[in-house]
Amino acid sequence: MTSTSATLPVPPVSAGSKPGPLATRKPRGGFTVGRTVRYALLLLFLLIVLIPVYVLFITSFKGAGDASPSRAWSLPTTWTTENWVAAWDALAPSIWRTVQMVVPASVIAAVLGSMNGFVLSRWSFRGANLIFTLILFGMFIPYQAVMIPLLELMLGAGIPSGIPSLIILHVVYGIPITTLIFRNYYESVPGEIIEAARVDGAGMLRTYFSVILPISAPGFVVVLIWQFTSAWNDFLFAVFFSSSANGPVTLALNNLANGALLQNYGVSMAGALFASLPTLVVYIILGKYFIGGLMSGSVKG
């Protein structure tokens, strides 16, 4: 009697691959020692970052007698929202003034940076690299070194102090970084698109508004987030070019913390949370687009 045995098919082995037992293959899922250590370190760093937020939050709900340095880590004995009401009453006018400042400052700086980046990257002319270098030079000038000359310049030009002066200053100091971001972003745009527009008879402005501007959303997201947070959190310009009556929220928050309510830490903490809330909301809503916009201009396509 003849017996036959079934022969299992052997999977082909691709060139360059080394066959080995299945037990030696590393699993893609599950926790390894290295991955566990990484997650533990990330969790530790997250806790360290959130410690100030925890102190701010719980202190903002403490009463005047309960909010003290000795009880900074303790939960409130009695939860109250009076600090939030007092902080809002003190900061609401300055918050609105800050919105009036950061919105035009961010938009104008973004538009000017976009135009500069397009011209310097795709509309070459003699001296373009020198002009780009001089624009970037403005990023490395410390604010403190030019504060007195800037103040004299603004006073001599008759520009009113407060929001008008701050808008101009944030636009001027925002142009270098916005130009750099947009120039890198437009370098990734295929040159064939620009050449096709030129062949069709489009000039520089027509090419920018009809071809480049519609595909610039990722770059604008990055620039607007950067400019918004930079202008919103600025304190140095606010001290020199505004007062408590016409200044932004950072100046009002400083006056709140160092004024008659110095011992009421709860009001100061609630005010700090109010002042930081808009930037936090912007990052939560547009954070994923921020990283995508940065990466979209990092590789030339």
Q: Which of 127, 116, 119 is nearest to 171 (CA)?
A: 116
Residue with tokens 């002319």: 125
d(CA 231, CA 242): 14
* Residue 301: per-residue pLDDT: 43
Res 262: pLDDT: 52
How far, in Å, CA of 101 to CA of 165, rounded? 9
Which pLDDT belongs to residue 6? Answer: 46
Per-residue model confidence (pLDDT) at position 76: 87
Distances (CA, A) of 95 to 88, 130, 166, 249, 286: 9, 40, 14, 5, 21
- 275 contacts 91 by C-beta, under 8 angstroms: yes
How far apart CA 142 and CA 144 sit, in angstroms, is 5
What was the pLDDT predicted at 227?
92
pLDDT of 19 reads 52
Cβ–Cβ < 8 Å for 111, 219: no
Q: How many Cα atoms are found within 13 Å in the side-chain-facing hemisphere of 276?
A: 10
- Alpha carbons 195 and 197: distance in angstroms, whole number: 5
Q: How many CB atoms lie within 10 A of CB 230?
A: 18
- Residue 207: per-residue pLDDT: 87
Phi, psi of 64 (to 5 degrees): -60, -40
Residue 193 CA, chain-centre distance (Å), reads 30
Taking the whole predicted model, whether its pTM rises above 0.75 is answered as: yes
pLDDT recorded at residue 283:
80
CATH number of 84-296: 1.10.3720.10
**Token digits for 121?**
């990257």
- pLDDT values of the chain reduced to their tens digit, one per residue, 301 residues: 444 444 445 555 555 555 555 444 555 556 688 888 999 999 999 999 889 889 889 988 988 777 777 777 888 888 888 889 999 998 999 999 999 999 999 999 999 999 999 988 887 778 888 888 888 887 888 888 888 888 888 888 888 888 999 999 999 999 999 999 999 888 888 888 888 888 888 888 888 888 888 888 888 988 999 999 999 999 999 999 998 888 899 999 988 877 654 567 888 889 999 998 888 888 888 766 666 655 555 444 4
Structure-block tokens of residue 59: 């202190």
Helix (H) or strand (E) holding 282: helix 265-296
Q: Count other Cβ atoms within 10 Å, centred on residue 73.
A: 10
Structure tokens at 238: 């606010």
Cα 141 to Cα 148: distance, rounded to the nearest angstrom: 13
Alpha carbons 272 and 87: distance in angstroms, whole number? 9
